[in-house]
C-alpha cells in the first residue's frame, strides 16, 4: 500500500521539475544571453589548414589593400606555390572512397541553414569538361542539401576527369550526372543541348525546386544561398537574363546555316529560312536565372520546340536561344519583345563577365568596368585577387571566369568570405 502512495508523489515531483526546466529554457531563449548549449557551427568555418593560399591576408585583399595584393601576386608567381596548389584528379577519386570523411574534411554544409532556404530549393545545371579542382570548389561553395545539381561532363573529357567528377557526385544524394551527355562544341548546338538535357533531368527529378541556374566549371558565386533565395523571391516568378535586340554585327549568326565538321563549327554557305512563327531573335548569353515555369515551357511549348529545331544550325545558339524564349508572350516570367524591355548582362542577375574591350581606368567615363587584375582568355578576364573588391560590389549571383591554375587566391578568399557570411546569417 505504501508503494502505491509514493508513486503519485514521485510523478508530481518529476512533473514539477520538468515545469521548472521548461520555464528556464523559455527564459533563456527570450534573453540576449548566448547559452552554452546553443549550437555552434565553428566546424563549418574554413580554417587556415596549411593550404598554400593561407599565407595571404584575405581580409586585406577584399578591402583592396595594395600591399596585400602585391604579396599575393608575388606568391602566385613562385614555382613552389604553383607546384603545391595543383590537386590531381586521382586525389578526388581516392578521397571520395570514404564519402563521410570527404564531406567532413571538405566542410560541406549538410543541413539547410534556414527554413527559408529549405522551403525554396534551387536547381543547377553544371557543364564541365576539365579542371576538377575548380568544379569541386564551386560545388562546395553552392552546395545545400535541399537543392538539386545536374552535372554534365563533356563526352571528350579525359577519363580521369569523368571518373573524379563521378566519384565526387556519388557522395551526395542530390548531385547526379546527366542521363545523356554530348560532345560539346564551342559555338555549336551541343552546348545548348547539354543544358537542355540537364533541364529535363532536373525537371523530372523533383517538383520542389523553384528556380533554375546554369553554370560552367569556371564560375563562382558572389552571393550566399540565402541571399540568392531572397532576391529570387522578389522576382515573383520572373526570370533574369540578358536579352536585347540582335546587334547588326551579330545577325549573320542566325541568318546563315552552319554545321559541325571535325569538332568545329563552320558556315554551310546557305541562308536560313525565317524563324518559326516570325519570332524576333534576340541576343543574350548562355547563362540564365529562370523560373520553373520557364523551364516547363522550354520542355513542352510547341513554339519553343520549333524554335529549338530552327536554332540547331545557327552559330553560337547559346547566345540567342534563352534570350529569344524570354521574349515570347505567354512564357512564364517573360517580357514582350519591345526594345524597352531589353536587359543587358550588367543589369541581369545571372553572370558578371569582364570583357577586355569594355575595361578601362577608374577615371574613364567610357569604361564599363575597371581593368582586369588577372589574365584574359578569349577576351574574358580570368579574375585575380585584385578583382574581388569590385566583384563583391555588384548584384550578380555568379562571376566568370576563375581558374585555380592561374590565381587560386581569388577563389580562396572568395570561398572564405562567402562561408563566413553564410554562417553569420545563422545568427
Residues designated catalytic = 319
Q: Which parts of 251-374 are beta strand (E)?
A: 256-261, 264-271, 282-283, 289-291, 351-353, 359-360, 369-370
The residue assigned the cell 569594355 is: 358
Ramachandran bin of 130, using left for φ above 0, alpha for ψ from -120 to 50, beta for the remaining angles = beta
304-310 CB contacts, 8 Å cutoff, 24+ apart: 304/328, 304/331, 306/276, 306/277, 307/275, 307/276, 307/279, 308/196, 309/276, 310/272, 310/273, 310/275, 310/276
Kindly provide the residue ranges of all beta strands, DSSP E only, lying in 122-263, ordered along the sequence: 122-128, 148-153, 175-177, 211-216, 219-221, 244-245, 256-261
Of 101, 175, 188, nearest in space to 135 by CA: 175
The answer to whether 323 touches 282, Cβ cutoff 8 Å, is yes
The half-sphere exposure of 297 on its side-chain side, counting CA atoms within 13 A, is: 22
Determine contact, residues 353/345, Cβ cutoff 8 Å.
yes
Measured from the Cβ of residue 226, the count of other Cβ atoms closer than 10 Å reads 19
Helical axes 66-77 vs 408-424, angle rounded to 10°: 130
Chain position carrying cell 552554452: 36
CA dist., res. 399 & res. 420, Å (int): 19
In sign, the C-alpha dihedral spanning 354, 359, 362, 367 is negative
Residue written as grid cell 578576364: 381
DSSP 3-state assignment of 258? strand
Helix, strand, or coil (residue 412): helix
Q: What is the greatest pairwise CA distance in the chain?
A: 105
224 neighbors 425 (Cβ within 8 angstroms) = yes
Amino acid at each position: 500500500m505504501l508503494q502505491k502512495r509514493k508513486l503519485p508523489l514521485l510523478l508530481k515531483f518529476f512533473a514539477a521539475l520538468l515545469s521548472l526546466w521548461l520555464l528556464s529554457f523559455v527564459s533563456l531563449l527570450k534573453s540576449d544571453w548566448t547559452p552554452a548549449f546553443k549550437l555552434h557551427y565553428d566546424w563549418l568555418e574554413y580554417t587556415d589548414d596549411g593550404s598554400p593560399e593561407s599565407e595571404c591576408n584575405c581580409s586585406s585583399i577584399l578591402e583592396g589593400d595594395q600591399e596585400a595584393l602585391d604579396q599575393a601576386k608575388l606568391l602566385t608567381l613562385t614555382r613552389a606555390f604553383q607546384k603545391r596548389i595543383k590537386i590531381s584528379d586521382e586525389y578526388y577519386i581516392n578521397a571520395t572512397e570514404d564519402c563521410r570523411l570527404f564531406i567532413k574534411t571538405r566542410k560541406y554544409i549538410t543541413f539547410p541553414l534556414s527554413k527559408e532556404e529549405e522551403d525554396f530549393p534551387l536547381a543547377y545545371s553544371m557543364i564541365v569538361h576539365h579542371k576538377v579542382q575548380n568544379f569541386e570548389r564551386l560545388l562546395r561553395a553552392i552546395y545545400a542539401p535541399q537543392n538539386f545539381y545536374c552535372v554534365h561532363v563533356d563526352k571528350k573529357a579525359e577519363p580521369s576527369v569523368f571518373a573524379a567528377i563521378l566519384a565526387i557526385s556519388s557522395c551526395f544524394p542530390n548531385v547526379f550526372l546527366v542521363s545523356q551527355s554530348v560532345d560539346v562544341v564551342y559555338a555549336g548546338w551541343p552546348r545548348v543541348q547539354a543544358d537542355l538535357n540537364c533541364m529535363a533531368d532536373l525537371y523530372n527529378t523533383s517538383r520542389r525546386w523553384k528556380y533554375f541556374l546554369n553554370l560552367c566549371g569556371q564560375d563562382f558565386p558572389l552571393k550566399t544561398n540565402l541571399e540568392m533565395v531572397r532576391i529570387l523571391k522578389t522576382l515573383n516568378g520572373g526570370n533574369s537574363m540578358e536579352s536585347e535586340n540582335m546587334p547588326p554585327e551579330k545577325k549573320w549568326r542566325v541568318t546563315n546555316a552552319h554545321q559541325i565538321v571535325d569538332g568545329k563549327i563552320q558556315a554551310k554557305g546557305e541562308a536560313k529560312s525565317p524563324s518559326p512563327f516570325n519570332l524576333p531573335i534576340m541576343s543574350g548569353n548562355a547563362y540564365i536565372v529562370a523560373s520553373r515555369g520557364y523551364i516547363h515551357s522550354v520542355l513542352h511549348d510547341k513554339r519553343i520546340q520549333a524554335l529549338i529545331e530552327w536554332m540547331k544550325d545557327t552559330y553560337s545558339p547559346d547566345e540567342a536561344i534563352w534570350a529569344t524564349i524570354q521574349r515570347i508572350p505567354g512564357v512564364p516570367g517573360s517580357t514582350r519583345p519591345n526594345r524597352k524591355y531589353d536587359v543587358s548582362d550588367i543589369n541581369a542577375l545571372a553572370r558578371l563577365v569582364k570583357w577586355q574591350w569594355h575595361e578601362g581606368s577608374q577615371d574613364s567615363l567610357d569604361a564599363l568596368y575597371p581593368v582586369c587584375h588577372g589574365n584574359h582568355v578569349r577576351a574574358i578576364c580570368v579574375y585575380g585577387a585584385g578583382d574581388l573588391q569590385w566583384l563583391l560590389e555588384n548584384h550578380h549571383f555568379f562571376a566568370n571566369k576563375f581558374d585555380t591554375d592561374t590565381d587560386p587566391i581569388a577563389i580562396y578568399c572568395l570561398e572564405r568570405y562567402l562561408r563566413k557570411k553564410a554562417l553569420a546569417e545563422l545568427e
